[in-house]
Amino acid sequence: MLKKALVTGSSGGIGRAIALKLASQGFDIAFHYNRSAEAASKASEEAATYGVKAIALQADVTNPDQAKSLVENAAKELGGLSVVVNNVGNFLYKLTSETSVEEWQEVLDSNLNATFYITQAALPHLKAANWGRIVNFACASAQNLVARQKDTGYIIAKTGIIIYTKSLAQELITDNITANVVSPGVVENSIGLEETTPKLPTKRPATLEEMSNAVCFFISPEADYITGQILEVSGGWKL
């Protein structure tokens, strides 16, 4: 099994935790950043302490050409690619009627389109490895088609990611590639924790470790027969 992974948005937060967890399991890792070069470099240095190859690569993944270059550079530097984790995606909390065209486009680009660009570019490498894992990020309750007042574009993007992932899962199973979704609720690095945490059934947010554990389960051999699935890490929030 080829153990080479690209994790987008991995200079900090959930992405960093995932990449470091994979490094601890023997994966060579490509850390991705857009603006946080120093943080990505430090994260890759930490990953290297596990005895794996770790690199930091810059790209604006909302740009299809840059997204493709990121994937190609990661595969070239690591000697192949078998795992892609799409973690990038900006949040927008604003009344639907007051959302500008630019804001709408940005939230779709950073979530849905970036996931598409990276994954499509990575597929030839995953197929060449004869084993692959795609893990995409949605959010808690994105599969529920209900009205939204202030995060409509964001939820539309995340629901699109779920449909895209399920479509890939069905298509790629004969290539020994699985595609699954992790859907976070409120996480320890989320904005507005003081206001949101008391509303959670658990009365606490998810930890970064819990998020990385969910991703790593889908990547593990134990999940060989699992594809097209959504794993909510939300502590019962928005059920």
**Is 170 a residue whose pLDDT tops 90?**
yes
**Is 159 a residue whose pLDDT tops 90?**
yes
Residue 239 within a domain:
no
Q: For residue range 14-40, what is the model confidence (pLDDT) as tens digits?
A: 999 999 999 999 999 999 999 999 999
Binning pLDDT at 50, 70 and 90, where does residue 152 land? very high
- Per-residue model confidence (pLDDT) at position 203: 95
**Is 146 a residue whose pLDDT tops 90?**
no
- Domain span including residue 223: 4-233
Q: What percent of the chain has pLDDT over 70?
A: 100
- Per-residue model confidence (pLDDT) at position 214: 98
3-state SS string over 41-82? HHHHHHHHCCCCCEEEEECCCCCHHHHHHHHHHHHHHHCCCC
Query: Of the candidates 164, 182, 167, 171, which has an alpha carbon nearest to the alpha carbon of residue 223?
Result: 182
Q: For residue range 69-122, what is the model confidence (pLDDT) as tens digits?
A: 999 999 999 999 999 999 999 999 999 999 999 999 999 999 999 999 999 999
Binning pLDDT at 50, 70 and 90, where does residue 191 land? confident
- Per-residue model confidence (pLDDT) at position 110: 97
**Is 236 a residue whose pLDDT tops 90?**
yes
Q: In the chain, what are the helix, strand and coil shares in percent, each to the nearest 5?
A: 50, 15, 35
**Is 148 a residue whose pLDDT tops 90?**
no
Binning pLDDT at 50, 70 and 90, where does residue 6 land? very high
- Per-residue model confidence (pLDDT) at position 147: 84
**Is 239 a residue whose pLDDT tops 90?**
no
* pTM for the structure as a whole: 0.97
Residue 22 within a domain:
yes
Binning pLDDT at 50, 70 and 90, where does residue 171 land? very high
Residue 149 within a domain:
yes
Give the chain's domain count. Answer: 1
Residue 9 within a domain:
yes
Residue 169 within a domain:
yes
By annotation, the residues acting in catalysis are 154
Mean pLDDT score of the chain, rounded to an integer?
A: 96
Q: Residue 79's Cα: distance from chain center in Å? A: 22
| CATH at residue 18 | 3.40.50.720
Residue 238 within a domain:
no
